[in-house]
Structure 1
Amino acid sequence: MSNLSISFKFENMDKSLTPSLSVRQAQPDEILKILRVQIDALRVLCVKDYSLDQIEALVDRNISHFSRGGYRGETTFVAELENVVVGASSLLGHRISAVYIHPLYNRQGIGSQLLDAVEHLACSRNIRTLRVTASLTAFPFYKAKGYQIVDESHLVTKDGLRIRCIEMMKQVLSAY
């Protein structure tokens, strides 16, 4: 499979700076960079929706996922800004398994571009409907992108801690 690469430009507050953001397929040696983005996003962005124990359980879950081989079987994209990985998204079958943005780069359209890359890939694979288990923090993002609520669910940690999530779906490929 060929590597996908999409380039975007966005304006910074300082009009003299127009950094180039690229969204491309992740390389195997970028796993630790992706994990760092996920951990920072969880610890900073999720504090309004989850307890510290729940956040640390999610961090441990992501670290465990990486220690078992990372995103093997998934197609993962990274958003790179001036040679720094600032976000990542992943697709596994018909499920979005991740969209994370480093907190310093949140709310700049990077998440939308990473989600677009996953949706585009799904369409190229003739996947009609995408599903995602959204955190309470990410729920408004997915809702704004046209994802519909299917159900409420909970991730349950090995210690029995329950973490509330929202199951969502979106038809990305119309039937003709």
Structure 2
Amino acid sequence: MAELTHRIARIDDLPALHALMGRAIEALQQDFLTPEQVRASHKVMGLDSQLVRDGTYFLVERDGQIAGCGGWSWRATLFGGDDSVIEREPAPLDPATDAARIRAMYTDPGFVRQGVGRMILALCERAAADHGFRRAEMMATLSGVPLYRACGYEPIEQVSAGPIEGVMVPLVRMGKVLAA
């Protein structure tokens, strides 16, 4: 098996990223959400292309195939993508007082349990710490919580997004102190 590699995402990666995210939402959420919640999740989750324009969004690849993606942000938005119903806030965060945001983490269903998510988290945490952030926060899907807990994130609060088509989508806001 070839080694996992990583790089910063480019605008021309957006179609492949959107396709990966759709597959991941459909396949990886089904053990945690109802079919209606999975459908509604497409309106909550997704890629905020501002992360790609900011140069803070990573791809992990194996043999030229995107295995996963995720990023971090110095902007106030905690979650939500270009096509989501979640309002985004582009205001900059202060690394001395605010937590960096870990955003839009997805693993292709064909690459789960192969270290992709851990690799992306490590890349994001390192980059955020290099920019002076001492903490990171994210809005986790229920399917992501076990990985994030294993990587040192603790739940801060349970929330629900919606209603979307009459459905609430459960999420967990999580945080972690970053290594210096």
Q: TM-score range by the shorter chain?
A: 0.7 to 0.9
Query: AA paired with 1:59?
Result: H
Query: What are the ranges of 5 or more consecutive residues in structure 2 without an aligned counterpart?
Result: 75-99
1:103 equivalent to 2:84? Answer no
Cα deviation for residue 24 of structure 1 reads 1.1
Contact 2:40 2:165 in 1 (8 A): no
3-state SS of the aligned residue for 1:78? Answer: strand
Change (3 A) 1:126 1:43: same
**The one of 129, 154, 161 aligned to 2:160:** 154
Count of residues paired in the alignment: 154
TM (norm. structure 2) is 0.79
Alignment correspondent of 2:57: 76
Please, which runs of 5 or more residues in structure 1 have no aligned partner?
1-17
After TM superposition, give the deviation of residue 133 of structure 1 in Å. Answer: 0.7
Moved over 3 A (4+): 60-63, 69-74, 157-160
TM-score, length-scaled by structure 1: 0.80
CA apart distance, 1:62: 4.3
Identify if the C-alpha distance between structure 1 residues 24 and 153 changes in structure 2 by more than 3 Å, giving closer, same or farther: same
Equivalent residue for 2:144, pick from 133, 138, 159: 138
Relative contact order higher in (CA < 8 Å, ≥ 6 apart): 2
After TM superposition, the structure 1 = structure 2 runs for residues 53-68 of structure 1, keeping only pairs within 5 Å, are 53-62=36-45
Verify the 8 A CA contact 1:150 1:166 in the aligned structure 2: yes
Structure of larger gyration radius: 1
- Cα deviation, 1:13-50, whole Å, max 9, x if unaligned, reads xxxxx313211111110011111111111101110111
